[in-house]
């Protein structure tokens, strides 16, 4: 376990780098003390290079509630290591008092009551204030976006990502990498990259399938504070498998570890004194990459939505995790001299909406993007009595609600909802607006299919997805959390090999075991196969919520997890 | 929005393509036999041979595989989980500029791809990579 003190010592031992990290003063402020913007942004500018990292905003322009996961299991060599630490263990690891602002921002417990105290988080106008404040101290600070930016809201869906492109251009972004961006389709991605984006769209691991040539710029060299900086972009490696490959048929991705080693040699050869990997690999893949490939100073991680108050040091590489949905921005001040990194000062800045003043220019820009859709966004569809959240390895109440909607609206025995990590939370007592439904469902392949599957097929699907989450080798972990299941319970032993993890599959409405040869009616959404048919998932959910009026989602006890 | 039962039946559509993943028997012994036919059961070394394949196949029908073993006289490639594991044998003459072969292979399911290089001194090199073939979907 790494305490703050140990982090500094580890840094010294490994590479004679001095460093500091943590929260500043705000982390220990209790609920009774008022947080101020200065508590969050007070940071002594050091070194000669500043990086600002934001990632996985999932098109959230406005502040949201977002509950961090309760269950985030590490397997193989990462059991109990960050980010696979939650709740009380997380608070203990990082010295966070119960009930504090940091507790609310970074862990899941008491979410509803702490949300009442500390309010929403994020908002691009608050993020803009933070960026402007940092640039007031260090004008040439690099703003780097880890991707999953153009998808996740009604407005991003309706404008094909245009709202986010406009906002990130205005933010003064210097580079980005990608994942869900490609679900807009390759034609739209190329239109944005070639004509609309004011900064490079980096993807060192994206190749043309036919000729095996690079499809996008792999890196960009910057000179800041007299330092040559290489920012290499790594897109989500499992793009054509986890998302519909037919939407970008001529592209190949992959981790491509050797390619990364070659690029590092190339940029070092060009004089790079600081090598930054702007990554959408996911934390465990980045941890393995950092262990196997020398020469990366900083990895700005993404995809797995982890927010860590301190860097994780692996083989002289500092891994940074900056959360999701606009909840956090990371500031890194680096001291780079004589061709190497000598010092690192790190701060994970929580974007408490009520504490940080909005930047009026950005507020206006955001409101302009949303104006054409305002009536549609604001319409109240129903109300929730339960906390609705998505994050967690196995289930969340948002997906339980979606599964309930699929079963009732599509008259199915069993419902499947993909294990996405994006989607804002709603508090008990809140109205559910159309915007809220889209925040949990907006994407470009929303068809709610209905089909018949045998028990054997269902078992194969669950085993396949489970291996993509719990394979002990991170390079073989393909995507999101476990597929969410409605109408069926099961037992999972995460330490078994593929084919042996899932047992005791039970049809909940009868209490009977699922028979391999029997056929069941299954409804789901977000099929990666071309030609899936059905109504859009948001219409299914809206219809269900309208019928219910006020929704209540009981705790899900139908998945039995063993081997943790 | 309302959905009638008739509409629903018309709209119904399968989501997950599973056909390629269902229960093929193990063919590892066929690969072992084929390797013994080359090496005569001699020890193999894993140094000096590089086998490159994706960790997870983007399309199991066409998986790019490259193998390189400097100095080899031939390299045989096997897909240990396919009904016919033998994929290709690359033979290199004395004037060959490099001892590298690349091809695309079809993989029926998750399996090890194995390469055996025969060296001019009669020794053998072996490399093996697991390639996962998955249904996909659900990418967070």
Lateral strand order in the sheet of A512-513 = A512-513, A502-507, A488-493, A559-562
- Pick from A356, A371, A308, A290: nearest CA to A68: A308
Collapsing DSSP states into helix, strand and coil, what is residue A140? coil
Mean pLDDT of B59-63: 92
Choose among B9, B12, B55: nearest Cβ to A255: B55
In the predicted structure, residue B137 carries a pLDDT above the cut 70: no
Cβ atoms of residues A331 and A351 within 8 Å:
no
User: Average pLDDT over chain A, rounded to whole?
Assistant: 93
- Same CATH topology for A4-368 and A379-562? no
pLDDT over threshold 80, residue A12:
no
What is the reported pLDDT for B9?
36
Spatial CA neighbour of A295 closest among A319, A268, A269, A313? A268
A429, containing H or E segment: none
User: Per the domain annotation, does B74 fall within a domain?
Assistant: yes
Question: What is the model's pLDDT at position A397?
Answer: 97
Domain ranges of chain A: 4-368, 379-562
Paired tokens of B101: 């072969």
Instruction: List, for residues A39-88, the tens digit of each pLDDT value.
Output: 888 888 999 999 999 999 999 999 999 999 999 999 988 999 999 999 99
Average pLDDT over residues B8-14: 37
Sign of the Cα torsion B54, A189, A330, A370 reads negative
Question: Å from A268 to nearest chain B CA?
Answer: 24
Indicate whether B32 belongs to any domain. no
What is the number of domains present in chain B? 1
B136 touches chain A (CB under 8 A): yes
Region A198-209: what's the mean pLDDT?
97
- pTM for the predicted model, two decimal places: 0.92
pLDDT confidence bin for B65, thresholds 50/70/90: very high
The CATH T-level fold of domain A4-368 is Purple Acid Phosphatase; chain A, domain 2 (3.60.21)
* Residues A378, A381, A384: CA angle, nearest 5 degrees: 110
Give all strands (DSSP E) within B46-123, no chain letters: 50-52, 63-68, 74-79, 86-91, 100-105, 111-118
DSSP label of A41: H
Decide if A420 and B138 are in contact by the 8 Å CB cutoff: yes
Tell me: pLDDT of A31 over 90.
Answer: no
- pLDDT category at B21 given cuts 50, 70, 90 is very low
- What CATH number does the domain containing B80 carry? 2.60.40.2470
| pLDDT band for position B15 (cuts 50, 70, 90) | very low
Rounded average pLDDT over A246-253: 96
Residue B113 included in any domain: yes
Asked if B4 has any chain A CB less than 8 Å from its own CB, the reply is: no
State whether A476 and B55 contact (CB < 8 Å). yes
Q: Does A255 touch chain B (CB under 8 A)?
A: yes
- Structural tokens at position A359: 């930047």
Instruction: Kindly list the residues from chain A whose CB atom is less than 8 angstroms away from the CB atom of residue B56.
Output: 238, 241, 254, 475-476, 478
Q: Which superfamily does A379-562 belong to?
A: 5'-Nucleotidase, C-terminal domain (3.90.780.10)
| Nearest-Cα residue of chain B relative to residue A409 | B3
Give domain status of residue B109, yes or no. Answer: yes
Rounded alpha-carbon distances, angstroms, from residue A392 to A145, A489, A528: 24, 17, 22
Residue A19 pLDDT exceeds 90: no
Per residue in A90-121, pLDDT (tens digit) is: 999 999 999 999 999 999 999 999 999 999 99
- Lowest-confidence segment of A14-18, A363-367, A407-411, A504-508 by average pLDDT: A14-18
The DSSP line for A444-481 is: S--BEEEEEEEHHHHHHHHHHHHHHHH-SSGGG--SSE
With CA atoms as reference, the chain A residue closest to B15 would be: A527
The reply to whether residue B12 touches residue A464, judged by beta carbons under 8 angstroms, is no
């Amino acid at each position: 376990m790494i305490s703050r003190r140990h982090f500094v010592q580890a840094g010294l031992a490994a590479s004679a780098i001095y460093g500091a990290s943590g929260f500043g003063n705000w982390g220990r402020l209790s609920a009774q003390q008022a947080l101020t913007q200065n508590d969050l942004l007070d940071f002594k500018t050091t070194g000669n290079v500043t990086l600002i990292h934001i990632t996985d905003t999932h098109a959230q322009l406005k502040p949201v509630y977002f509950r961090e996961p309760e269950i985030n299991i590490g397997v193989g060599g990462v059991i109990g290591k960050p980010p696979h630490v939650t709740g009380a263990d997380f608070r203990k690891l990082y010295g966070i008092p119960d009930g504090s602002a940091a507790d609310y921002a970074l862990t899941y417990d008491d979410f509803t009551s702490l949300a009442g105290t500390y309010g929403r988080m994020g908002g691009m106008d608050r993020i803009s204030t933070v960026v402007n404040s940092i640039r007031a101290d260090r004008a040439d600070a690099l703003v780097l976006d880890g991707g999953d930016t153009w998808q996740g809201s009604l407005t991003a869906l309706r404008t094909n990502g245009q709202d986010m492109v406009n906002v990130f251009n205005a933010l003064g972004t210097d580079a980005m990498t990608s994942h869900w961006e490609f679900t807009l389709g390759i034609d739209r991605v190329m239109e944005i990259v070639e004509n609309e984006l004011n900064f490079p769209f980096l993807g060192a691991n994206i190749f043309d399938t036919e000729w095996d040539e690079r499809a996008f710029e792999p890196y960009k060299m910057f000179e800041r504070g007299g330092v040559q900086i290489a920012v290499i972009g790594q897109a989500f490696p499992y793009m054509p498998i986890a998302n519909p490959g037919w939407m970008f048929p001529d592209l190949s991705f992959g981790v491509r570890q050797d390619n990364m080693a070659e690029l590092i040699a190339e940029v070092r050869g060009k004089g790079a004194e600081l090598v930054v990997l702007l990554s959408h690999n996911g934390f465990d893949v980045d941890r393995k990459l950092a262990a196997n490939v020398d020469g990366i100073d900083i990895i700005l991680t993404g995809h797995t939505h982890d927010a860590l108050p301190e860097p994780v040091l692996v083989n002289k590489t500092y891994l940074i995790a900056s959360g999701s949905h606009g909840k956090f921005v990371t500031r890194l001040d680096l001291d780079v001299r004589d061709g190497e990194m000598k010092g690192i000062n790190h701060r994970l800045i929580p974007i408490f909406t009520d504490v940080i003043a909005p930047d009026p220019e950005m507020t206006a820009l955001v409101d302009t993007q949303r104006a054409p859709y305002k009536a549609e966004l604001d319409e109240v569809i129903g109300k929730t009595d339960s906390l609705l959240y998505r994050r967690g390895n196995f289930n969340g109440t948002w997906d339980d609600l979606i599964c309930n909607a699929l079963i009732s609206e599509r008259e199915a025995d069993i419902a499947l909802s993909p294990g996405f990590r994006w989607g804002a939370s709603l508090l008990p007592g809140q109205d559910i607006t159309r915007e809220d439904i889209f925040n949990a469902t907006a994407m470009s392949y929303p068809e709610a299919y209905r089909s018949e599957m045998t028990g054997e097929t269902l078992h194969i699907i669950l085993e396949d997805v489970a291996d993509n989450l719990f394979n002990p080798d991170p390079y073989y972990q393909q995507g999101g959390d476990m597929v969410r299941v409605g109408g069926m319970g099961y037992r999972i032993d995460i330490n078994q090999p593929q084919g042996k993890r899932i047992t005791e599959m039970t049809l909940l409405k009868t209490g009977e075991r699922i028979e391999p040869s029997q056929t069941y009616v299954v409804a789901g959404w977000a099929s990666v196969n071309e030609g899936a048919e059905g109504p859009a998932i948001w219409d299914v959910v809206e219809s269900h919520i309208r019928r219910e009026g006020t929704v209540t989602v009981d705790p899900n006890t139908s998945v039995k997890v063993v081997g943790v | 929005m309302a959905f009638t039962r008739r509409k629903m039946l018309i709209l119904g559509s399968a989501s997950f393509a599973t056909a390629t993943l269902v229960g093929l028997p193990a063919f590892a012994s066929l690969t072992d036999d084929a390797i013994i036919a080359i090496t005569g059961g001699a020890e193999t070394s894993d140094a000096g041979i590089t086998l490159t394949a994706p960790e997870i196949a983007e399309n199991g029908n066409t998986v790019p595989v490259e193998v390189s073993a400097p100095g080899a006289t031939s390299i045989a490639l096997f897909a240990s989980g396919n009904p016919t594991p033998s994929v290709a044998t690359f033979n290199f003459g004395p004037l060959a500029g490099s001892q590298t072969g690349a091809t695309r292979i079809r993989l029926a399911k998750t399996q090890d791809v194995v390469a055996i290089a025969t060296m001019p001194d009669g020794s053998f090199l072996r490399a093996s990579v697991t390639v996962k073939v998955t249904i996909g979907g659900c990418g967070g």
